Structure 1
């Protein structure tokens, strides 16, 4: 330990340059990780925030809400098996709205839930939708940037229906579109207006269920024309979700590999430059294990310092990002990313450790003398 720290103090410029490279790479890894998490959450926030374990969807719908249609009979059957308090109807529809009196069009996702049910999100401003509320909706607060306020009337471009924004919710979106929550009654009227209903019956996109795996199996057996879809599968089936995350995860994986390669090359070159010194140390009795621990300690110290600085920088940048920027880096993800980066850095230093074990003391000293 003494040798490793003393060497870093002596060659400040050399290790400072290595630290700068590590800082840049670690910052890029953290930023891409936060962007990946932010995009994933923005794409499926409303579904992920729901207190549901499974969704009942139409068979052969590929687990997609937009392709699924389930009726009131399925709702009643699932309630008799899982308990009426554990099932909630859910309507999902993409549409375009415009604030009354303006020509600006906004893409939103309509989510129909029971006003007093457990799918209804917490209201951050305004008032919640009641069972007697007619024409009132809750809008994601990102719509404020488009000029939508409490009491603003929005018009559905597909059906011509008009609703009034009675309150706002936070962090509710689907397929990167802000969510607008409406009551079952308004959903029923919209479906009938769009001629999607049959014989006046209400058709939903899915049925949310809070239950265990055993009861989910019973539901699957009792509903042969429906599919019981886990929440994670429903999220993964959102259009573009897997492709978007796959691209970002590949970028992150390449960054990890690049960081390991860069550090391996840096420390390998430094090790070669110190070959004669290592030979002298071995000749006077210094063990190979001691020298290997010194290299590992140098990498660990550089990792700790650069990661701490990187975390401070990424939090500062996060605070400066605009509100609409999909960036999300939870403490657990931050810790996992830092741990993975440190692991890759230590793995990259193994090449230098291997080189140290191969150094022959007499040969190294002779090479130095020559």
Structure 2
């Protein structure tokens, strides 16, 4: 990597440009990932806590899967109870003039949970079902056999579609994040390809002096790794610092899943893109290239 580091120092302007580009992409990806996690928490955290992992959510088949539109009949309610399930009631009300979602639960639940971006309060099934406009759905152990006529059974992550806001938010944000991963690979691939062509004479001289292709490849990829490490590290730090300042004003969640994981994926995408630049290096013929230089 000696030659690669010297070239980075010699071309500080180009190095700063690509590092700044990677930093901005990293900020976008990590910030969107943190925002997606924060929006997810405010959409379905109460439902996630209430349902746990090994349950299915049974809602009325109305063309949508939202809990707000599900109203089970007495027959369907009895059928779910006979199958060993329970009924989950939901209602909307105002508590101290603040819109609040009320969910039924027979066990104590943590505070500071949300559903459809509204704070949640847990009460007994009898109290919630008596509230105006209360809706109902069934909660069954996963794999329970139940007659699904007029019902929709949601399992796994599909259960979170019971929130009217969850699917649209997560789909759009995840699409943007995935596109940024692709853009990162393309930008890095184009940049390092151009850079490699510009430094090809130095590569040729190194090859003519006896450097193996393995050494040349290690030098090129090591250079890309340093650029990626600097840019991605700066982007993660910027996102973390910004989140500390604005966490109270927008729903944002900082964790390893929203910072470390996107950083690793960006690094892998960047290295994959920069691998494209190895083609001129692999095709170097020292004598012919020097004769044409």
Cα distance change on mapping 1:359 and 1:66 into 2, 3 Å: same
Q: 1:177 Cα shift? A: 2.2
Correspondence 1:66 to 2:7: no
Structure 1 CA distance for aligned equivalents of residues 158 and 212 of structure 2:
54
| 1:40-77 deviation line (CA, Å, top 9, x unaligned) | 22222211222432122224453221221225665554
The match for 1:110 among 102, 107, 126 is 102
- Give the structure-1-normalised TM-score: 0.70
Q: 1:251 Cα shift? A: 1.5
The match for 1:239 among 164, 170, 174 is 164
The match for 1:89 among 62, 87, 96 is 87
Larger radius of gyration: 1
Structure 1 CA distance for aligned equivalents of residues 255 and 86 of structure 2:
30
Corresponding position of 2:49: 49
Correspondence 1:29 to 2:21: no
Corresponding position of 1:296: 221
Correspondence 1:177 to 2:118: yes
Indicate conservation of the 8 Å contact 1:280/1:364, yes or no.
no
Corresponding position of 2:250: 325
The match for 1:343 among 245, 268, 284 is 268
Q: 1:349 Cα shift? A: 0.6
- Give the structure-2-normalised TM-score: 0.86
Q: 1:182 Cα shift? A: 3.4
Structure 1 CA distance for aligned equivalents of residues 185 and 244 of structure 2:
29
Cα distance change on mapping 1:284 and 1:60 into 2, 3 Å: same
| Structure 1 stretches lacking a partner, 5+ long | 100-104, 123-168, 195-202
Indicate conservation of the 8 Å contact 1:71/1:204, yes or no.
no
The match for 2:204 among 273, 276, 279 is 279
| 1:309-344 deviation line (CA, Å, top 9, x unaligned) | 322222211111142411123313433211110111
Structure 2 CA distance for aligned equivalents of residues 253 and 179 of structure 1:
32
Name the one with the larger helix percent: 2
Indicate conservation of the 8 Å contact 1:296/1:346, yes or no.
yes
Structure 1 CA distance for aligned equivalents of residues 62 and 186 of structure 2:
46
Cα distance change on mapping 1:236 and 1:56 into 2, 3 Å: closer
Structure 1 CA distance for aligned equivalents of residues 245 and 40 of structure 2:
21
Indicate conservation of the 8 Å contact 2:217/2:278, yes or no.
yes
Query: CA RMSD of the aligned region, Å?
Result: 2.6
Correspondence 1:352 to 2:268: no
Corresponding position of 1:133: none
Counterpart secondary structure, 1:56: strand
Indicate conservation of the 8 Å contact 1:110/1:179, yes or no.
yes
| Structure 2 stretches lacking a partner, 5+ long | none
